[in-house]
Structure 1
């Protein structure tokens, strides 16, 4: 009997994290199955001011730079003179349509490849207009830069904490579709590639202002930048057009009631 109880407790200790990981309820998604971009879910950032990174593109809402076809969202960077810039692309966000606090955010996408090319999937605090950046908080779920194609980067930006973690993959990330995800909880944030956890950042590491548990929602941003301080600029090896192809974006929240029920059962 004692052995049986000990065994059950051991099983519970091992199983509880798995239960926690599996108990998700989908709250929002875009599967890009329609014939056009859903403007009830997305809006555009438009302009060519460098976006704080000395980027070279002019972001537009033209169908040449973003469209839905065959169940995929295409974001395309072109080499062309437009708006005083030499390149165009698209930057889309869900501000004013969807934002949330905590949860799992996942994208399945095929990334472009080329020097100076910079695709990203990220979250930004919706209070940025009141407190500014980085006080609003920024969660970079996926960034990849052409001069370093074999590394996936995930980052957190906050007033007292700024960190970037790389995930190395020898064949790069443009070889097919992969999933990129974050599990954002009040006291920690986990980053995943193809379902594999590769980094966890804890609030206790921040040493100060942690804007990721202050009660304000974050919205989603998708963009394909060209050039900038970090990726460097395109060169003779960079081919255009460049396409960032997205199969879906899905958002989940933890179903804590189910976790508590099963935890009680295991105990």
Structure 2
């Protein structure tokens, strides 16, 4: 009887300790600023913090049939009056042997990290066919032309490397924002790990788009209101490739259904901050 009681007490103790440890993983406070860009200047972007990704994938188009060039020109990415502007523009542009009718910019951060909180205060562009995003990729992605691939880290193809979409906004769904997690088990047009909501004035007012990335869970929010959480019941390489460094990307893609009257619109970013 005493032996049985001892076993029960040990099991309860183990269970309580395990649950406390498991829970604590998502109760960590990320309050130490480890990297940021406040964009407190005017002119070109800070090349010590950002890399322009411009190399077109094999086939002549960006993934998903996008119809824009990404450039490293100041016309498409610049800092003005303390704000980063990523500008999508309607213009004929010839690059890498391909002529396209729209340009934009795609920035890779030269900083990568594992676990923490990301905050981005931003306004979205407008226009049917615009597709701005604030997102993350594992620096091990094997993608020719990406910053970390150029540094020798490219070993793993998408989506097995893992992708975290902090914020996506489609101009054809004005004011609806979405966050998603792409993995080997759920990716691309068939991704099921996603959530979003409608927020008024995403293009006329600044909002703070946030990710909290823990060892076992991700929490996505806008202005501190949570709209999606990702916490797979089983964490393995297919569902949770999020145990190593990821970097931040900012871009505006142009989809084939772009409004013919579209001329120019920008994603405007006040700051980006990473806490651990």
Partner SS state of residue 173, structure 2 = coil
Cα distance in 2 for residues equivalent to 1:102 and 1:22: 11
Out of 243, 248, 252, which is 1:224 matched to?
A: 252
Residue matched to 1:132: 157
Cα distance in 1 for residues equivalent to 2:50 and 2:119: 16
Residue matched to 1:146: 171
Written as runs of structure 1 = structure 2, the 5 A alignment for 1:1-267 is 20=27, 23-35=30-42, 36-48=44-56, 49-83=60-94, 84-94=99-109, 97-128=110-141, 129-161=154-186, 162=191, 163-169=193-199, 171-204=200-233, 209-214=238-243, 216-227=244-255, 232-236=256-260, 238-253=261-276
Deviations 1:10-58 (A, max 9, x none): xxx9xx99x9475511100000012331100000111454321111110
Deviations 1:163-193 (A, max 9, x none): 2212123x34112111101001111100010
Cα distance in 2 for residues equivalent to 1:150 and 1:207: 34
Please list every run of 5 or more consecutive structure 2 residues that lacks an aligned counterpart in the other structure. Answer: 1-19, 142-153
Cα distance in 1 for residues equivalent to 2:221 and 2:126: 21
Task: Compute the TM-score of the two structures, normalised by the length of structure 1.
Answer: 0.80
Task: Compute the TM-score of the two structures, normalised by the length of structure 2.
Answer: 0.77
CA RMSD between the two structures:
2.2
Partner SS state of residue 204, structure 1 = coil
Cα distance in 2 for residues equivalent to 1:152 and 1:88: 23
Cα distance in 2 for residues equivalent to 1:147 and 1:213: 31
